Amino acid sequence: MTTVAECLLTLNAGSSSIKFALFAAAGGEPAPLAAGQVEGLGTAPVFKVRRSAAPGPVAVPLQAEGPMSHRAALSVILAWIEATCPDARIGAVGHRVVHGGSRFEAPVAVDEGVLAALEAYVPLAPLHQPHNLSGIRAAQAAFPAALQVACFDTAFHRGHPYVADTFALPRSLYDEGLRRYGFHGLSYEYVARRLAEDHPALAAGKVVVAHLGNGASMCALNAGRSVASTMGFTALDGLPMGTRCGQLDPGAVLYLMQEKGMTAQEISDLLYNRSGLKGLSGVSSDMRDLEACDRPQARRAIAYFVDRIRHELGGLAAALSGLDALVFTGGIGENAFRVREAVTAGMDWLGIVVDRDANAGNATVVSTPWSRVQVLVLPTDEEAMIARHTLAAVAARSPVAA
């Protein structure tokens, strides 16, 4: 029997939100106590929390008006935990870290050497990595005796075959780390685990998972293992996202530099912060806003998003040499039934036939009984995955009782 921390906390800093979850850590399996998030960072922040025994989330008033930084949002979360759960002893904090590079293939206990190594990956994930590392430092200050554990979005994809892991560049650059990493790995790992528990026959087969949210990507799973992903060296590649461009001809970047005279920083700001659904529509980066908008620019932005998903679905099915299931997850994937309907429309050639009523009701299985490929909607839970990894790290460090 191992000695574990009384409670553990998870922090998940996204491009426009910070999620947290508090777990009881006794008994070998993390048990959720409370969870919440501050979303709308940079625009109109909203803080919602949910206790495990409560029927749903409740809004917590924020003193700040207008845009809020990640640092300020994290302070709000830590203050809420301290005020609401004063008896909770935080023995470990698990952190989502977007980029682990070629060095980190599994969760790791954080020390100054690890932090220094992760700082080097900031240019590869500028929307996330700085906030991830700020979260670690804030947690170190708030809980100095707690074990800090970094859990990587890239780790789940590290077993890709070479052809899915490389670019057509000189091999020396690949050896230096210029390669395809893939992201959203904690989400895909959770979905793979859920499939193994609830749909074992599908989990043993060929599955494409579409993680669609403010950040969006897709992943091909063969028997639960990632074999291909739409994201590459950075979290810019693949699908268009809330503010990120997705797939882009590299010649367009050269054109912006040479003909438009844009600096690297200006191009970075364009591709990360002013493109994607926001750039295409000129309206919003939020799919809910776009679906409610009757402007043609909003319609075209959604159409482009759907078209790229359909392109990538065909490519990932080819990488798998077949398809047994398509899983939608993430904020858009779980809730935007019109997007799912548009993605799967006319996909009977691939074996996908969707039940419109089940899909409109956000059912778990939204394909028809005669669809050769099952289509599922599964909520993801990156926090639960981080908590499991963190608890395992605590147990590995704990002495065995005599």
Query: Is residue 35 situated within a structural domain?
Result: yes
In a domain, 389, yes or no: no
> For residue 193, is it within any domain?
no
Given a cut of 50, whether residue 401 has pLDDT beyond it is no
Query: Does residue 177 belong to any structural domain of this protein?
Result: no
| Whether the predicted pLDDT of 18 surpasses 80 | yes
- Helices (H), ranges, 274-381: 276-281, 287-292, 296-320, 330-335, 337-344, 356-360
What proportion of the chain, given as a percentage, has pLDDT over 90?
78
Rounded percentage of the chain residues whose pLDDT exceeds 70? 97
* 222/81 same-domain check: no
Residue 220 lies in a domain: yes
- Based on the fold, state whether residues 121 and 228 are members of the same structural domain: no
User: What is this structure's pTM?
Assistant: 0.92
Say how many domains are in the chain: 2
C-alpha dist (Å) from residue 103 to 107, 114, 177: 11, 10, 9
Residues 102 and 243 in one domain: no
Whether residue 181 lies inside any domain: the answer is no
The band of 49, judged by pLDDT with boundaries at 50, 70 and 90, is very high
Local confidence band at 398 (pLDDT 50, 70, 90 cut-offs): low
Q: 102 and 209 share a domain?
A: no
- Residue 224: φ, ψ to 5°: 85, 0
220 and 338, same domain (yes or no): yes
CATH number, domain with residue 88: 3.30.420.40
Domain ends where: 130, 152, 174?
152
Q: What is the tens place of the pLDDT at every residue in 268-303?
A: 999 999 999 999 999 999 999 999 999 999 999 999
Residue 329 pLDDT > 60: yes
**Strand 90-97 with 147-152, pairing:** parallel
Q: Which residues contact 93 (CB under 8 A, 6 or more apart)?
A: 8, 9, 10, 11, 136, 139, 143, 146, 147, 148, 149, 390
Whether 98 shows a pLDDT value over 90: the answer reads: yes
Domain carrying residue 112 = 7-152
Q: Which of 358, 385, 383 is nearest to 369 (CA)?
A: 358
Residue type, 52: S
Taking residues 37-66, what's their average pLDDT? 83
The mean-pLDDT minimum among 133-147, 150-164, 194-208, 299-313 falls in 133-147
Terminal alpha carbon distance of the chain:
9
Is the pLDDT at 400 greater than 70, yes or no?
no
Residues in the chain: 402
Q: Are residues 267 and 373 in the same domain?
A: yes
- Read off the pLDDT of each residue in 365-378 and give the average, rounded to a whole number: 98
Give the SS3 label for residue 354.
strand
Whether residue 135 is found in the same domain as residue 276: no
Residues 21 and 116 in one domain: yes
135 inside domain? yes
Contact indicator for 335, 362 with CB cutoff of 8 Å: yes
pLDDT for the residue 312: 98
Mean of the per-residue pLDDT values for the chain? 93
Looking at the structure, do residues 245 and 98 belong to the same domain, yes or no?
no
Q: Write out the catalytic residue numbers.
A: 153
Same domain, 134 and 229: no
| CA–CA–CA angle 390, 396, 402 (5° rounding) | 135
State whether 205 and 140 are in the same domain. no
> How remote is the C-alpha of 235 from its chain's centroid?
10
Domain boundary among 120, 152, 184: 152
Q: Which of 128, 152, 176 is the last residue of a domain?
A: 152
How many angstroms separate the CA atoms of 300 and 193, rounded?
36
> Which of 44-48, 242-246, 276-280 is predicted least confidently?
44-48
Q: Is residue 163 in some structural domain?
A: no
- Let me know whether 223 and 371 are in one domain: yes
